[in-house]
């Protein structure tokens, strides 16, 4: 099945790093093996049962621009998980409809009629569609009721912006380290020590800004994935010598809004490893 529109590539140390439905891999060439798996393979069946089914190329679109607010996601996509957590945390389950799409068998109307960037997440609200996960967390926080995700304290606001800016670089270190052949512990130490330091900055709670915020939402989907993957592939324990990070993950898992978006870690890892050509 050729679905090249759902794939993007970057070069990394001579290998092609590719990206399919929220998962990265390293391979000399992309084969149908990587595009042929059931797109929902990583989602635990128990979780799937309680979530709406993903729309496919065969699915009719919802009544687009009828005034309904819709958040388009793919269940395995860490970027889409961000605004999904924000929506849950603010208690907007009734106000923002969750619409999962199957990226590997994507409905044509998604690009043609809704979001020309053709990525998830996207948010349909007030007859407009917007994307970019970090922007969407902020947008949902600013335009809907519910507990604030952005702190009031200017010092925390500034630190939030620094951490949000760093999140892309952090993710890139993780993607490259996972795909690299040699010892990458130096790069990983630097990235996770930075996270451990960041978690030490405010003492009024276990989260990046003390209390749960948009920064935790930005990092959680990625840390979740790379914790299991790095342990398995690189024998690298992100928690070793990092008590703040261990506590952060423990406390994060108690947040129902986040727990609702989590898919089984082992299932996710085995699917991700397949994408990395490591299984």
Ligand X SMILES: N[C@@H](CCC(=O)N[C@@H](CS)C(=O)NCC(=O)O)C(=O)O
Interface residue with ligand X among 90, 119, 156, 262 (CB under 6 A) is 119
Residue 272 as a binder of ligand X (CB under 6 A): the answer is: no
- Among 49-57, 125-133, 197-205, 226-234, which window interacts with ligand X (CB under 6 A)? 125-133
- The residue among 88 and 122 lying less far from ligand X, judged by its C-beta, is 122
CA distances from 274 to 20, 57, 151 (A): 11, 24, 39
Contacts with ligand X: how many residues (CB under 6 A)? 16
Q: Return the beta strands (E) in 21-95 as ranges.
A: 23-27, 69-73
Residue 116 as a binder of ligand X (CB under 6 A): the answer is: no
∠29-31-35 over CA atoms, to 5°? 130
- The residue among 73 and 196 lying less far from ligand X, judged by its C-beta, is 73
Give the total residue count for the chain. 279
Interface residue with ligand X among 54, 105, 133, 261 (CB under 6 A) is 133
Interface residue with ligand X among 55, 73, 77, 218 (CB under 6 A) is 77
Minimum distance from residue 132 beta carbon to ligand X (Å): 5
- Among 28-36, 115-123, 243-251, 260-268, which window interacts with ligand X (CB under 6 A)? 115-123
CB contact at 8 A, 68 and 62: yes
Residue 103 as a binder of ligand X (CB under 6 A): the answer is: yes
Residues 6 or more apart whose Cβ sits within 8 Å of residue 207: 199, 213, 215, 216, 248, 251, 252
Minimum distance from residue 230 beta carbon to ligand X (Å): 19
Q: Give the count of beta carbons closer than 10 Å to the beta carbon of residue 106.
A: 24
Minimum distance from residue 244 beta carbon to ligand X (Å): 26
Residue 105 as a binder of ligand X (CB under 6 A): the answer is: no
DSSP 8-state symbol, 60: P
What DSSP element (H or E) covers 244? Answer: helix 243-252
Minimum distance from residue 112 beta carbon to ligand X (Å): 14
Residue 118 as a binder of ligand X (CB under 6 A): the answer is: yes
Residues 239-258 that bind ligand X (CB under 6 A): none
Phi, psi (deg, nearest 5) at residue 62: -65, 175
Give me 251's structure tokens.
């406390």
DSSP 8-state symbol, 112: I
Residues 79-98 that bind ligand X (CB under 6 A): 79
Residue 8 as a binder of ligand X (CB under 6 A): the answer is: yes
Give me 256's structure tokens.
């129902």
DSSP 8-state symbol, 32: H
By the criterion CB under 6 A, which residues form the site for ligand X? 5-6, 8, 21-22, 74, 77, 79, 103, 118-121, 131-133
């Amino acid at each position: 099945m050729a679905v090249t529109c759902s794939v993007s590539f970057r070069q990394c140390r001579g290998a092609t790093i590719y990206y399919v439905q929220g998962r990265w891999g390293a391979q000399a060439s992309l084969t149908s093996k990587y595009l042929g798996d059931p797109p929902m393979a990583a989602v635990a069946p128990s979780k799937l049962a309680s979530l709406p089914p993903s729309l496919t190329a065969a699915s009719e679109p919802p009544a687009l621009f009828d005034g309904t607010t819709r958040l388009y996601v793919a269940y395995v996509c860490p970027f889409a998980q961000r605004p999904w957590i924000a929506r849950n945390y603010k208690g907007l389950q009734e106000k923002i409809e969750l619409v999962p799409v199957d990226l590997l068998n994507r409905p044509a109307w998604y690009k043609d009629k809704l979001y020309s960037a053709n990525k998830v997440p996207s948010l349909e609200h007030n007859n407009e569609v917007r994307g970019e996960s970090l922007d969407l967390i902020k947008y949902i926080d600013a335009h809907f009721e519910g507990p604030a995700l952005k702190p009031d304290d200017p010092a925390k606001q500034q630190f939030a912006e620094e951490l949000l800016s760093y999140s892309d670089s952090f993710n890139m270190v993780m993607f490259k380290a996972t795909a690299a052949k040699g010892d990458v512990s130096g790069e990983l130490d630097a990235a996770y020590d930075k996270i451990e330091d960041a978690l030490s900055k405010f003492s009024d709670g276990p989260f990046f800004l003390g209390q749960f915020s948009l920064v935790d939402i930005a990092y959680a989907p990625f840390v979740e994935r790379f914790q299991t993957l790095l342990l398995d592939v690189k024998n690298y324990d992100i928690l070793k010598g990092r008590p703040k990070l261990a506590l952060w993950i423990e406390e994060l898992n108690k947040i129902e809004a986040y727990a609702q978006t989590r898919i089984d870690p082992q299932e996710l890892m085995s699917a991700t490893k397949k994408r990395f050509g490591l299984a």
